[in-house]
Each structure stands twice: as structure tokens, then as C-alpha cells.
Amino acid sequence: MDTTASRGLATKDIVYIALFAALTAALGLMPPIHFAGAALPPISAQSLGVMLAGAVLGSKRGGLALLLFIGLVAVGLPLLSGGRGGFGVLMGTSGGFLLVWPLCAYIIGYLMEKDTAANAIKTGLYVAFGGIVVMYAAGIPWMAFIGKLGLTKSLTIMVAYIPGDLVKVVLATIIARGLRRAYPNL
């Protein structure tokens, strides 16, 4: 994985980058998961793609996969869950959460590369750091700025999404570890 940085992208790297961008899009087609009844908002499986790209492909390729995905959304392809796309969504209230995806994947990949022997718990923590902490650290100030809300109120709104994101962290960790076992040389 560390060799990709030094020798540029091989055919296989380009294919994997495109694949995980497409995977993130395809995950947007899965019906949102409802849990805890109506008490919590339904969660879309889409940000699972972010976590998987980072945890499976590593920093550079994972980050580029999501950069490609966001680029395709920006040019007007309806790839976000619910068939949304275009500049409007990226500039809207949740724009910060979306635009930071490449960085989230990069950071998850970076942490995994620094600790290749990470067990399930540690992997989960890395995924949670990139997929929740970093994402919220960008998304909440953006929302506060766009809606002139102030950080506390924006944070309060987003608290309802945290349980769903934790579920995704667990799923991403299980799937990423499974894929790594199935394809050790990815």
C-alpha cells in the first residue's frame, strides 16, 4: 500500500478508486435503515462507503475514491441517497458532512497504515475517528455557519445521528476486516 504513493497509480489502483466511488454510490441505493422506531432519524448506508474506502484501500486510494465520488456528485449525477446530486446539495446544510468525505477516508486509511496489526477494537476506533469525529468536526461548523445557528445548537441537532453512525462503524469494521482477510494484497 505504501508503494502506491511512490510510484504513482497503477491500473489496479485506478480501478479500485473507481470501484469504491461506485460502491459509495450503490450503497446510496439501499433503503435507509430504520431503528429505534421513530425516535431516531433513519440512517443511509452511504457513509459506510467512506469508512470502507479508507479502511480497505488506505489513505491515498481511499481519499481519491471519495474525491472522485464527490466530483461526480458535483457535476450533477444523482448519486447521493434519495437520488440527490449537483452543487445545491454540496452547498446546502449538510454540505460540510459530504465535502469532508475524502479527508475522512484518507485519515482512516492513514491510521490503518500506521498500525497494520490493529485488532478489531482499534480498527473500530480508527474508523470512528475518521468517520464520526472528523466528519462532525467539519459538518457541524458548516451547518452552524450556513444556518447561523451557533455550534451548540447544530451539535444538538446532530446528536440524533450518532447512534446510527456508531452502527455503521461496527459494520464497516466487520466488513473491512473480512475483505482484508479475503484479499490480503488488495
Partner 1 sequence: MLDLYSPGTSLLHRLPPAAKMLAMLIGATLLFLNESLPITVAATLGILALYPIAQLTLKQAFAQIRPLLIIFVLFFAVQWYFSGLELAAYVVLRLTALILLASLVTLTTRSSDMIDTMTRGLRHLKPLGVNPEKVSLAISLALRFIPVLAQITREVREAQKTRGLERSVIAVAMPMAIRAIKMADDISDAIDSRGYRS
Nearest to 136 by CA among 101, 85, 111: 101
* Site membership for partner 1, residue 158 (CB under 8 A): no
On the 0-12 / 13-18 / 19+ scale of CB atoms within 10 A, 117 is: exposed
- Shortest gap between Cβ of 45 and partner 1 (angstroms)? 6
* Site membership for partner 1, residue 10 (CB under 8 A): yes
Applying the rule CB under 8 A, the residues between 22 and 41 that interact with partner 1 are: 22-23, 25-27, 29-30, 33
Which residue among 86, 125, 129, 158 contacts partner 1 (CB under 8 A)?
86
Query: What cell was used for 70?
Result: 464527490
Nearest to 162 by CA among 39, 71, 6, 5: 39
Query: What cell was used for 4?
Result: 502506491
Residues 60 and 91: their CA atoms lie apart, in Å, by 25
Query: What cell was used for 150?
Result: 451557533
Which residue among 3, 6, 11, 119 contacts partner 1 (CB under 8 A)?
11
CA atoms within 13 A on the CB side of 127: 31
For residue 80, what are the β-bridge partners?
Answer: 84
Per rule CB under 8 A, count of chain residues that contact partner 1? 59
* Site membership for partner 1, residue 101 (CB under 8 A): no
- Shortest gap between Cβ of 186 and partner 1 (angstroms)? 7
* Site membership for partner 1, residue 120 (CB under 8 A): no
Binding positions for partner 1, rule: CB under 8 A: 8-12, 14-19, 21-23, 25-27, 29-30, 33, 45, 48, 52, 64, 68-69, 71-72, 74-79, 82, 84-88, 90-94, 146-149, 153, 157, 171, 174-175, 178-179, 182-183, 186
